[in-house]
Structure 1
Amino acid sequence: MREWQSLSPVEAGFRADAGERIDKAFAAGELKGLHGVVVLRQGKIALERYFPGADEIWGDSRGVVAFDAGELHDLRSVSKSIVGLLYGIALADGLVPGPTAPLLASFPEYPDLTADAARQRLRVSHVLAMTMGTQWDECLPYSDPRNSEIAMERAPDRYRFILDRPIDRSPGEAWTYSGGATALLGHLIAKGSGMPLGSFARERLFAPLGIGDFAWIKGSNGLEAAASGLRLRPRDLAAIGQLLLDKGAYGGRQVVPADWLEASLTSRIRTGDGLDYGYHWYLPRYGTPSVRYGAFGNGGQRLVVAPDLDIVVAVTAGNYNQPDGWQTSVKLTNEFVFGGLAR
């Protein structure tokens, strides 16, 4: 297990009462649903708080949980960004096709699709950047069978379902949020490595970072739900953020290739809501190029990396399936973490 060093808030450049301000805001109902926050500065824990609250595992209620540093938590779609890192590791090992490779060349089991001239334009890069140009709608509630991710879960062959969606636009033209894209990446990693996605993650990412305990919920096909099923402790999520700050290196080992991180954190498309998107990472535009990176998940799960401040923020929360569920994490990060820095 990874051993963490700590700094006092003052040593880390925060106001002396930064932690107490978070406690008071939670008690006052200003940080609804917050379960945990870990803030790193200079690679050390500068702020850490946990709060009790109602929780669930991929939709199954756990009741009220008294969270602490040892409790695993759903990451939901933060899982997507971690799959993006795993793809880069697999690519460096020659296990998966590169971004410019034709996507359908990896799916010869669907000859009717590979023969479709319109689909022949699809590249792996379009999957990585979620710019496939096919119909996909996750705006509907995840309880609605018309939600594309739910429909994928219920399909007899999820990969055919993803690849066979009607084409709306030219690949690369526009961004469409898609758990199906991440499912394809997870499949390619598992196929190329010859091991389940979770086993590959354990061997090539988690173990090298000192992350010994995790869970990856399986979908209806019995395989890890790449898009949303990962469960980690907040400290371990923060360790992944620190890995980005350290250009993919930890403990004298290059865990994620530095060139893959550069490629992943380069803007490929605008999402339409004030963000850019790289290869499965969000890039809030605080300058050109972007100087901060993020991974976001249903319910308020959030990982924010701010190289300009040498800060990593990992947040877990229980505001699942709420339209404004992200607001607690944004308020916490902007007002109490970045806003808690000593002036």
Structure 2
Amino acid sequence: MKRFCFVLGLFVTQGLAAQSFDGLQEAIEGGSFGEIKAVLVSQHGEVLFEEYFRGSSAADLHQVQSVTKSVGSALVGIAHRQGRLRLDQTLGELFGGLYPMNTGAYQNKAAITVEQVLQQRHGIAWDESSIDYRNPANPVQMMVASGDWYNYVLTRPTDAAPGGKFAYSTGASTLMSRFIRQSTGMGPDEFARQELFGPLGIGPVHWEGWSEGGMGTGLTDWPNPDEDPPLGFSLWLRARDLLKIGELYLDGGMYNGRRILDQSWIEKSWTRYSHSGNSSDFTQPGWGHGYQWWIAKVSDPRDREWHVYFASGWGSQVIFVLPELGLVVVTVADNYDYNGPDVDVMLVAGILSDIDPRLDSRFNGSWYNPETDRQGFSMEVLDEFGVVVSYWYTYTDSGSGEQRWFLLQGDVVDGVGEVVIYETSGGVFLQSDPVELIVWGSGRFTPVDCNHVTLEFESDLEPVSGTVPLTRLTGNCYSPPAAD
């Protein structure tokens, strides 16, 4: 799997005109990001861009490579949600029926937990990133040639205690297939069909190892005692189905009113257990690895920062999820021998520049303008009704220090808050005296990023208008809104 570097990608594109969203198709067709086969972009479930390239179509199944790992993590999460699988269960428990886990080379793997495998902090010595995946010396190829993949992984040397070190391992991820088999009595393909793909309307699907010759020429007989397809790779899906998986995570585990995954599982999956503070594999702040998901923080050409969570497979098969923007971006490609600007550069320079956050309940809280003293706003967005209510605490323009406050109320339209601004008069402290609302003007709340909103306003009663830059005081939109 290629390790993306979003910061480098941004640096490379700064000397060029940022690719407009309108020009994205032309850039992909021209090979600016390699041999891209499909790109899909959705925001809050609305598809903004869906194009297929180089003979590909919406019906085509694609070998998604290590995106399979993230799907495997979802299956483990479903089994965990159903009470069938615990995170503290050990390989000794789960593989004891197949191998003598308390003896020989197996013994120091017996205490590794399900969670440590998900985190890729298993302690098994493994380096598949330094050698091309097609090289027979790559440990993935050695595992494939071994005749028993589970046995190969479980008898590898260790170079750290369980939980002590990050080591990205397709071999360790392959063990998730046994987790599903042992806990549910079903193979991962059957369990996925019943509990994930079926509910999401995903299909057809296919399981086959990668081969230069394409579908129908790769491995389909799986050399493990259960004869189950590996959850380290081997899954084939349509690009639209990858989008559904990304949107499931974006929506907190809900799909069409049905809970598939616990939101707490998604939060755990997107927690950086490995990062620049404890692993040399991550040199950039904000980068890390969760439960078979990668994590990054990027800056776009408008100097806005975003958290990115992504499932990534060799050859540029990627699901990018940006919760703060409500955004999912899917790419499938044949970038197996490509070393130029990749889909991370496409995301930063070609997509993010033209995407704005939409006002929703994640913007609820207190806001202020750093340029003004002791003045601020409270904001409440009611997603169910598409309504925004805000209070503006300020002063008169006389310089007397007399306080003044406004009520701002209106609708969320196309992601911004279109409000009427009311001034109040009357009322007595702690008394029931009537308060009169007078229409003072109108305004618009426009989100800039997770922590910044602008208010444009114009008065109907006074010769005043302007723009107020607001900064968040409370709350955050780091996590997806609660879906239930």
Superposition TM-score, scaled by structure 2 size: 0.60
The equivalent residue for 1:281 is 293
Report which of the two structures shows the higher radius of gyration computed on alpha carbons: 2
Residues 314/112 of structure 1: CA separation in 2 closer, same or farther (3 Å cut): closer
Count of matched residue positions in the alignment of Structure 1 and Structure 2: 309
Counterparts of 1:19 and 1:336 in 2: how far apart (Å)?
Answer: 6
**1:101 deviation in Å?**
2.2
The equivalent residue for 1:201 is 192
**1:184 deviation in Å?**
0.5
**1:205 deviation in Å?**
0.5
Which structure has more relative contact order (CA 8 Å, sep 6+)? It is: 1
The equivalent residue for 2:164 is 173
> Is residue 295 of structure 2 the alignment partner of residue 305 of structure 1?
no
3-state DSSP of counterpart to 1:205: helix
The ranges of structure 1 where at least 4 consecutive aligned residues each deviate by more than 6 angstroms after the TM superposition are none
User: What is the correspondence of 1:35-74 to structure 2 with a 5 Å cutoff?
Assistant: 35-52=37-54, 66-74=55-63
2:335 maps to which of 297, 319, 323? 319
> Is residue 120 of structure 2 the alignment partner of residue 130 of structure 1?
yes
The equivalent residue for 2:91 is 103
2:237 maps to which of 232, 238, 241? 232
Equivalent residues of 2:146, 2:152 under 8 A apart:
yes
More strand by share: 2
Equivalent residues of 1:34, 1:328 under 8 A apart:
no
**1:213 deviation in Å?**
1.4
Equivalent residues of 1:19, 1:48 under 8 A apart:
no
3-state DSSP of counterpart to 1:231: strand
Residues 255/113 of structure 1: CA separation in 2 closer, same or farther (3 Å cut): same
The equivalent residue for 1:55 is none
Counterparts of 1:163 and 1:323 in 2: how far apart (Å)?
Answer: 33
Counterparts of 1:293 and 1:112 in 2: how far apart (Å)?
Answer: 35
User: What is the correspondence of 1:199-278 to structure 2 with a 5 Å cutoff?
Assistant: 199-217=190-208, 218=220, 220-221=222-223, 222-270=227-275, 272-273=281-282, 274=284, 275-278=287-290
> Is residue 282 of structure 2 the alignment partner of residue 291 of structure 1?
no
Instruction: Give the letter for the 1:306 counterpart.
Output: L
Equivalent residues of 2:112, 2:162 under 8 A apart:
yes
**1:93 deviation in Å?**
2.1
Equivalent residues of 1:121, 1:171 under 8 A apart:
yes
Equivalent residues of 1:77, 1:228 under 8 A apart:
yes
3-state DSSP of counterpart to 2:121: coil
**1:117 deviation in Å?**
6.1
Equivalent residues of 1:237, 1:314 under 8 A apart:
yes
**1:113 deviation in Å?**
4.1
Structure 1: runs of 5 or more not aligned? 1-16, 53-65
More helix by share: 1
Counterparts of 1:122 and 1:29 in 2: how far apart (Å)?
Answer: 44
Q: Percent identity?
A: 32
Instruction: Give the letter for the 2:122 counterpart.
Output: M
Counterparts of 2:247 and 2:170 in 1: how far apart (Å)?
Answer: 25
**1:323 deviation in Å?**
6.4
The equivalent residue for 2:67 is 78
Residues 223/112 of structure 1: CA separation in 2 closer, same or farther (3 Å cut): closer
Counterparts of 1:226 and 1:339 in 2: how far apart (Å)?
Answer: 35
Superposition TM-score, scaled by structure 1 size: 0.84
